[in-house]
Structure 1
């Protein structure tokens, strides 16, 4: 079983048996609002997640993520949810402050 824990959404857990699925798809399938200004195409960084634990459980960096890292728009602890696939195990993530929606209650859990 694969699992996503979103720390600052009161440690909300998403469990799935699906593999090779983009992180943002798993989030949206579980009715969680997550920003994605470019339509999940890797053309911006609005869907970025901060990976607290489990970076090794994600797919390799995509060309778009490498581009944003080289241009200082993604740190080594950040990935794009529209590009990264959960491959195994568990990831613990946070919504970046800059990408929080005003209508969502973000806990510090």
Structure 2
């Protein structure tokens, strides 16, 4: 069983039996708004997740993520939710401050 815990959304938990799924797809399928200005194509960083735990449970960095890291737009503890697959276990993530929606209530 795969699990995503979004810490600053009241520790909201998402579980899935499907592996190799994009993190953003799992989030959206659970009716959680998550920013993605480029339409989930890896062309921006608005869908980034701050990974607090479980980085090893995600797929390797994609070329797009490598590009943003080299250009200092993605830190070592951040991933693009449209590029990263949850391949096993659990991850604990947070929504980045700059990517929070005004209509949602976040906890910190």
Structures share fold, TM-score greater than 0.5: yes
1:85 aligns with 2:63: no
Partners of 2:24 and 2:18 in 1: CA distance: 13
In 2: Cα distance, 1:19 partner to 1:54 partner: 15
Q: What does residue 54 of structure 1 align with?
A: 54
- Partners of 2:44 and 2:18 in 1: how far apart? 26
Q: How many residues align?
A: 108
Query: Could you tell me the TM-score, scaled by structure 1's length?
Result: 0.98
Q: Tell me which residue corresponds to 2:14.
A: 14
The one-character-per-residue Cα deviations of 1:18-69 (angstroms, maximum 9, x if unpaired) are 1111000000000000000000000000000000000000000000000000
Shift of 1:107: 1.2
Structure 1 residue runs of 4 or more that deviate by more than 3 Å after TM superposition? none
Are residue 73 (structure 1) and residue 65 (structure 2) matched?
no
Structure 2 CA distance for aligned equivalents of residues 70 and 64 of structure 1: 10
Alpha-carbon distance between aligned partners in 2 of 1:60 and 1:4, rounded to the nearest angstrom: 17
Deviations 1:50-93 (A, max 9, x none): 00000000000000000000000000000000000000000000
Mind listing any 5+ residue stretches in structure 1 that lack a counterpart?
Answer: none
Structure 2 unaligned segments of length 5 or more: list them.
none
